[in-house]
């Protein structure tokens, strides 16, 4: 549990960081975090050392997020990769009152409704986790390898549209990076333009 005074200091830093959203470059160590999921359980990045970790920024009302959920695409990816031992965190950084903000109960009901199966959903209404990674859009995807190094930062695929019909012909950067890394190969496309709606941080 992060102490209140430390949390306040971190929140102030986050306000300064919003001026220039610093991103984390693939190849550098992924920042450790401490966040709570929709069942009240705390997760840190460091406790998952030895596993691949995917961070998926999410806003259910954004038409780009909707494209990947209404089509079942995101749920398929979550199912496929968690069954291969990947830890998949969906992250919600919408501030209270902003589009996409969810309480724990609302989010749990939503997961049932859309049959999503991430390892957990991290609730980040203060935006600390989002600003730590420089999450800009929903969706925005990050992949961390078992050594704790960021190996992917960018969009989910290469068709920056709201059309579900673009999914089958798009190159999925998340699957590509995980396949390559798991085969011991360098990730051929470690960055791409993250596309979607802006993350609805507090103003």
Partner 1 sequence: MAPGKRFVSLEYFLFADTYDARSLLPCTAIVQFDRQGNLPPNHKRLCQIMYQSTHVGRWLRGFRGLVPRGSLLLAGFLLTAVSATPVSGPHGSVEVVAEPASIEPGRAFWVGLHFQLEKGWHIYWTNPGDSGEPPKVQWSLPAGFRASPLNWPIPRRIQDHSLIDYGYQDEVLLPVEIQPPAGLGAGHDVQLGASVKWLVCREVCIPGHATLTLTLPVKKAAPGQPSSWHPLFIRTRADLPKPAPQAWKPAARLEGQRFLLNVETGKQETAAVFFPFEPNQVENAAPQNVNSSSRGLLLELQKSDLLLKPPPYLAGVLVVASGAGYVIQAPVVMPDSKRTH
Report in angstroms how near the CB of residue 81 gets to partner 1 at its nearest. 23
Binding region for partner 1 (CB under 8 A) out of 78-86, 103-111, 130-138, 141-149: 130-138
Residue of 8, 22, 29, 70 that binds partner 1 (CB under 8 A): 22
Torsion over CA of 136, 33, 113 and 100, rounded to 10 degrees? Answer: -40
Using the minimum distance from each CB to partner 1, give the nearer residue, 90 or 192.
Answer: 192
Using the minimum distance from each CB to partner 1, give the nearer residue, 119 or 142.
Answer: 142
Query: DSSP labels for 110-158?
Result: HHHHHT---SEEEE-TT-HHHHHHT--EES-EEEE-TTSBEEEEE-SBS
Binding region for partner 1 (CB under 8 A) out of 118-126, 141-149, 154-162, 172-180: 154-162
Report how far apart, in Å, the C-alpha atoms of 17 and of each of 43, 53, 94, 132, 183 are: 23, 24, 16, 9, 36
Report how far apart, in Å, the C-alpha atoms of 42 and of each of 37, 101, 179 are: 6, 19, 29
Binding status of residue 19 toward partner 1 by CB under 8 A: yes
Q: What are phi and psi of 183, to 5 degrees?
A: -85, 5
Report in angstroms how near the CB of residue 191 gets to partner 1 at its nearest. 5
69, containing H or E segment: helix 63-70
Q: Which two tokens stand for residue 81?
A: 């990769």
3-state secondary structure of 58: coil
Q: Which two tokens stand for residue 98?
A: 């902003």
Binding region for partner 1 (CB under 8 A) out of 48-56, 143-151, 176-184, 195-203: 195-203
Binding status of residue 161 toward partner 1 by CB under 8 A: yes
Residue recorded with tokens 């999450």 = 135
Residue of 10, 24, 104, 182 that binds partner 1 (CB under 8 A): 24
Using the minimum distance from each CB to partner 1, give the nearer residue, 88 or 195.
Answer: 195
Binding status of residue 96 toward partner 1 by CB under 8 A: no
Using the minimum distance from each CB to partner 1, give the nearer residue, 59 or 78.
Answer: 59
Site string for partner 1, 51-70 (x = CB under 8 A): ----------xxxx------
57, containing H or E segment: strand 53-57
Q: Which residues bind partner 1 (CB under 8 A)?
A: 18-26, 61-64, 98-99, 134, 136-137, 153-154, 160-163, 190-193, 195-201, 203
């Amino acid at each position: 549990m992060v102490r209140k005074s430390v949390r306040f200091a971190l929140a102030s830093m986050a306000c300064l960081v919003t001026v220039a959203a610093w991103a984390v470059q693939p190849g550098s160590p992924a920042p450790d975090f401490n966040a709570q999921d929709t069942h009240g359980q705390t997760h840190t990045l460091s406790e998952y050392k030895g596993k691949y970790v995917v961070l998926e920024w999410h806003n259910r009302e954004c038409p780009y997020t909707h494209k990947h959920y209404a089509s079942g695409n995101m749920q398929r990816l979550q199912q496929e990769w968690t069954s291969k031992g990947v830890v998949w965190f969906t992250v919600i950084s919408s501030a209270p009152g902003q589009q996409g903000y969810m309480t724990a109960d609302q989010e749990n009901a939503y997961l049932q409704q859309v049959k999503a199966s991430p390892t957990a959903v991290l609730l980040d209404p203060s935006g600390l986790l989002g600003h730590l990674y420089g999450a800009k859009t929903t969706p925005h995807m990050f992949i961390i390898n078992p050594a704790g190094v960021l190996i992917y930062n960018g969009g989910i695929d290469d068709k920056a549209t709201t059309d579900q019909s673009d999914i089958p012909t798009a190159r999925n950067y998340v699957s590509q990076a995980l396949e390559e890394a798991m085969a011991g190969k360098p990730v051929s496309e470690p960055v791409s333009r993250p596309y979607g709606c802006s993350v609805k941080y507090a103003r």
